[in-house]
Amino acid sequence: MRLTKIVHADGWKFIASFAAVTVCLFLLSTTLGWLGLILTGWCIYFFRDPQRVTPVGDTFVISPADGVVQAISAVSPPREVSLSEHAVMTRISVFLNVFDVHVNRVPADGKILQRHYHAGQFLNASLDKASDLNERQTFVMQTAQGLSLVFVQIAGLIARRIRSDVEVGEEVRAGQRFGIIRFGSRMDVYLPQDVAVQVCVGQRVVAGETILADLENHGAHRVGEVR
């Protein structure tokens, strides 16, 4: 498979910059040059865009990001969102470190109804207040069942750029690539409060593959323990 197929297009300008600096470092010092080469390799690794096998199901909500489930909580949706039917929703927060795949994927089949960009701070994305204070891109979608879901790209302490490629009115599919957050970040998914969450805090999830919830499952949230 060609390298252009496994690296996100947004990464090439960074990879080229790292490579150019590496050449300059080799002219100054072999040691510095090897350090630059390692960092260039890491940059390629960071922007990798692997294929994923997405479970097929109209009611599945799929993880939009690789990372660790940091929190599951009942909260109000982001203030920029207009959702009169949901005063409180279940929020699943997935934290991405700098070694995770940062290509984001749509969590469910449906249609994009709203898109909001909020300029904010760059606090550590692992902090709960990052959902309210950090730079973010918020999407509201309607599923085939007519339910509203919200998913949010959140910049972190190192991540300073959010890119999204889907627009209001666009029909989307679960597992579809829709954007990228550069260099450490967080993704929040907001579900109707009566939907049972199928992942646990501390669990590692995979974008486009891990089922976060089934919209037809209204039982208890899944419970896990470290073993």
CA gap 148, 192 in Å, rounded = 7
Q: Based on the residue annotation, tell me whether 93 is a catalytic residue of this protein.
A: no
DSSP 146: S
CA angle 180-185-190, nearest 5°?
A: 85
Q: Name the active-site residue from 63, 93, 131, 185.
A: 185
The backbone region for 177, taken as left when phi is positive above 0, alpha when psi lies in -120 to 50, beta otherwise, is beta
Residue 28 burial (10 A CB sphere; 0-12, 13-18, 19+)? exposed
Asked if residue 43 lies in contact with residue 26, where contact means CB atoms within 8 angstroms, the answer is: no
The single residue listed with the structure tokens 């969450």 is 197
> Where does the chain have alpha helices with state H?
3-6, 12-28, 30-46, 130-133
Beta bridge partners of 150: 140, 190
User: How far from chain centre, in Å, is Cα 92?
Assistant: 11
Task: Provide the annotated active-site residues.
Answer: 185
